[in-house]
Structure 1
Amino acid sequence: MSDQLKFIVERLNKEPFKKNYNLITFDSLEPVQLLQVLNDVLAEIDPKNSVDIREEMPDQTVKRMLSVLGILKYKPPGDMSTFRQGLVVGSKPVIHPVLYWLLQKINELKKRAYLARYLVKLEVPAEFLQDDIVSETNKQYEELMDNFKILHKECEQLKSSGFSTSEIRRDISAMEEEKDQLMKRVERLKKRVETVQNHQRMLEIARQLRVEKEREEYLAQQKQTLRNQLDSTEMKLQRAQQQLKNMRHAAADAKPEGLMKRLEEEMKFNSYMVSEKLPKELESKKHTLSLLQKVASEPEMDQSDLTELETKIHEVNLEINQLIEKRMRNDPMDDKLSIFRQQAAIIARKKETKAEELQEAKEEISNLEKEIAQKSSQARDIDGSEILRGDEFKRYVSKLRGKSSVFKKKRQELAELGAECGVLQRTEQILKQRHESVQQQLQVIEQKRGISGYSDTQEELERVSALKSEVDEMKGRTLDDMSEMVKKLNSIIANKKSALAPVIQELRPLRQKCQELTQEYDEKKAQYDSCAAGLESNRSKLEQDVRGLHEECSQAESQYHYINLMKKGVEVLLQRAADEMKAYVSPDSQERRKSIREQYTRNISEQENLGKKLREKQKTVRESHAPNMKQVKMWRDLENLMECKKMCFLKQQNQGSIGQVIQEGGEDRLIL
């Protein structure tokens, strides 16, 4: 509890509360102040709760807090009525755990409160839904709620995707730099091509070639998409045929006994829910409602009423404990029956928990089926294909792994090329520096010889001649390359067609065989799944039976050991009582002295004698106290007197020794 209080005080002293509490001041808060602190924390989570509770009725405050805690999914540790009563009166044992739970996960609860504004569904009565306008509005409301869920998930995914504005800006700047470089390169290429004859016609031919290539790629992609759609429709058809076959097989193999047994189990479960579980829950809800109505109808309670109620509760608890003790003492048959009552209660609790687990499992299965249908519809809307399952997913994963390995290799090659580029750039800088130094030396030599500018003129002539030869070579090479490219493309297309023809012929029977094998695999897999499900259900049933028998055995063993211990304790007490009676009744005085009664009487008499002696001693001490104190005072006075004489004697002795020293010093001076 102290750790809990420390955590609450630390969090309340930080942002955004800044309460400036310590353990003593927080523990000494009044109930109204403690409720206000709880309301401030709830207001931080949901701003709608930012109110002053002094301006609000207590029942409204408790109702509002309970609704907020219900939305936040807080589960009270005890009874709901006790929890509500504790909230009404501002009880510390009720509010401190709530504060500890809220402050532990405040960010998560803020998100939950924000979502609750839009996702808490309004319950519309069935009679109102019969109206067309109301039902249409309700459908629109549900659709908007579903759209909000989808958009919120997309927003969360975008937040957690890792994209940041700085990275996007860097990418944009890098792309702009790359664009500028490409524009400069295009300009350089245009200047080079303008010197070639018929460059416009060649550019038009190259443009047509590029357009045809793009069209070819588009047609290939369209062909691939059509092939994928065909494969997906074939798989859907096969799956539907397999489902139809399984349904027919199940209908053919179904026996009346199995169907009747399944129906009987469902009927037993439904009858148990209707006759036992649901009436109990309804009765408990009614009881809780009556208690809440009773609490709401009562006037506001003050401190005197609370103390009176606490005293009454204490008295009733004492009476209950007394009655339980009386019942345990007076009704031995009830003790025998209590074991069976406990076992019956345990079995009933087990039955209730299993029913709840079954109901939750059914609800979970229905929710999962709805979610699977929704996900599959979303996947179909996105890419028009089915969700990958089984071997398809494995093949897809293996394909992704291959691509990732290729990507890693390429990235490693890029890193190596980048490192090599850095080395080459550094080498280029060094060579440029050396070239500049050599040029400077050459210019100095030319100035000495009187031929300055000779090397620059020679370099310019060499550069012009190299450019002329490069342009001439480019003119001839461009035409040759284009003609060779056209021939090569035609030959490649013809070779691909001739090479693909036998492969396509071989692929057709293999595809048919693959379809047959997949169909056979699906059949075998369905048989295996049904057999495995049956074995799993039998195994779980046997495990439950074994677990129940183990629990019964452990309970019986604990009861057996407890009874044995009680029996041994009673035997020991009986033996001690028999020994005591034997020693007390025995005619032998020595044996009688060993009895506990004799020992206790002997001890009592000894203590009484000792008490008498001590009282007599006390009496004598009291009588002699006054003269003894007088004598002590006289001795102290005598001691002080002797001390004073001693001091006088020492003082006199010191004065005599000082005079003697002075006298001796005078005699010495006379001698000198």
Structure 2
Amino acid sequence: MSEQLKLIVEQLNKDPFRKNFNLITFDSLEPMHLLQILNDVLAEVDPKHAIDIREEMPEQTAKRMCALLGMLKYKPPGNQSDLSGFRQGLVVGSKPAVHPILHWLLQRVPELKKRAYLARFLVKLDVPAEFLADDVIGDTYHQYEELVEGFKTNHKECEQLRTSGFSTAEIRRDIGAMEEEKGPLIKRVERLKKRVESVSNHQQMLEQARQLRVEKKREEHLAHQKQEQKNQLFQAQQRLQRLQQQLKDMRHAAADASPDSLMKRLEEEIKINSYMVSEKLPKELEVLKRTVQYLQKVASEPAMGHGDLLELRDKIKGVDMQINHLIEKKMMRSDPIDDKLTLYRQQASIIIRKKEAKAEELQEAREELAAAERELTHRTSQALASNGEEVVRGDELKRLVVKLRSKGTVYKKKRQEIAELKAEYGVLQRTEEILKQRHEAVQEKLQTMEAEKGISGYSNTQEELERVSAIKSELDEKKGRTLDDMSEMVKQLNSMIVEKKSALAPIIKELRSLRQQCQVLNQEHEEKKSQYESCGAGLESNRSKLEQEVKALREETAQEENRYHYINCKSEITEMQIQRAAEEMKAYVSSDVQERKRAIREVYMKNIAEQELLGKKLREKQKMVRESHSANMEQMKMWQDLEQLMECKRQCFIKVQNEASVGQVIQEGGEDRLVL
């Protein structure tokens, strides 16, 4: 803050302000005076603001200053929530709001002058859209935009001319040098003319030389034109080759492509993009929001001391112990064999992780592709700028992409068939629901009609009889058809049973012994499993304890390091203060008068003496005002009485004049009546 004040005072004491401030006088300024200084600095940037702030309301002053600062792209310190406080501080002229503005303005006055000058012409007028619908207003606004663009180009040309390095002095020197060279050249030309005039046909020879010079210039122009046409021909040939190669690649790609495959490819891209938009990007955005909220919460909390850190560490240890205890309980109670959903959960989590990994790979691939395209565009532009020739793109990459896409058509085709079957299943299911609803409506209507006729339940009974008769007829037919089949099937089954028994007899004998071994192994497995789980739980608890100890030791190490750095900083500050005090003492006891004047004690004593002298003068002035107060008040009262007396005389004079005019009018009216 002291460095900031030093810079402000330093700049205000220079041209064009010349305020003659020091740190004490500037820091003791009243809010109104401080705002006037800020307005003077803004007036130096933009002369339109050269006014006295006492002549306008504080809200208007703050609004005007905020508009100019916004145009100059000044960013207030703090976040967006502090803007209202910043405006309020600007209204009342508080130091925390005005000092940073002065510090920012005084560092870059020439740059801000230029920005304010350009803003008068480049900040466009805000015209509502409904007014632009009018033809006259629209044409006028279009001309206004064209003039703004013209001003931009003219200003750029002016800046280029200013920074081009040419000055009037250099141009004058060049003109003087050319004038000096002009004299010898004129003399040489005169000598040559005299020498040529002695030749008989010198006019014809001069004409021939002039024609030769013209023809040489024409030959150079034609050679240059020929070279340009060769370059254009070479570029056209290269462009033709590239276009032919692209046409060949596109035909090759379109040979295996069809509307169905293109639609499938587009649907696949749409699915990928929808997954990115609906699932992946919202998750990442939510994670970032939570991180920002957490950081804002951490930043808004007050600074924590050593006791708070110890309390939080104890809480973390307690929560970790509870978590480990709950994990041990869960491991003791849970049985993986009974949990049938564990496998599906694991598979689902694996699929989700794979999906997220593929989405991240796709995002990285897209970013790499975009970066490669940007680099290719940049290098192409560089090559065009340097050589004037276009660069042939890598068509091999396109061929590989087409090949990979052709290989993926089979997979996409199968997925499309599955999607079509699912869509057809949905349509059929919806059709079934509609038919059921219609059938229920018809049944309800039929039941109402039967109730009206007095034969309720007739249709149901009839349908039941028809169904039973149909079932009976089908069973009779099946009985007749399957009697012979059943007899043959029984014979075949008996023969097959005999064959299977004979084949399975040795396997059954082996199976009995294997079952016994399996029971023994299952018992052993259960014992080993219980031992493993108990050992694992113990190791996990030991590991968590060790992790907690390591974490506590790391935190303690970090605290000790912070304390070490803090003590080092304090010691350096103390050394600097001691050194400063020694320098002050040395300057104070020095025999040199100038060095003693530079001591802080002498400066402060000088400022105190100045302030005491100023206070003494003000007290004398106050005494004079008090002494002359009564006399001045009497004189003021006499002037007020005199003013009241003159006002009374003026009223009387006006009244007399009015009465005289009325009498004259009455007299004139009487004379008129006498005449009549």
Short-chain TM bin = 0.3 to 0.5
- Per the normalisation by structure 1, the TM-score is 0.42
- Per the normalisation by structure 2, the TM-score is 0.42
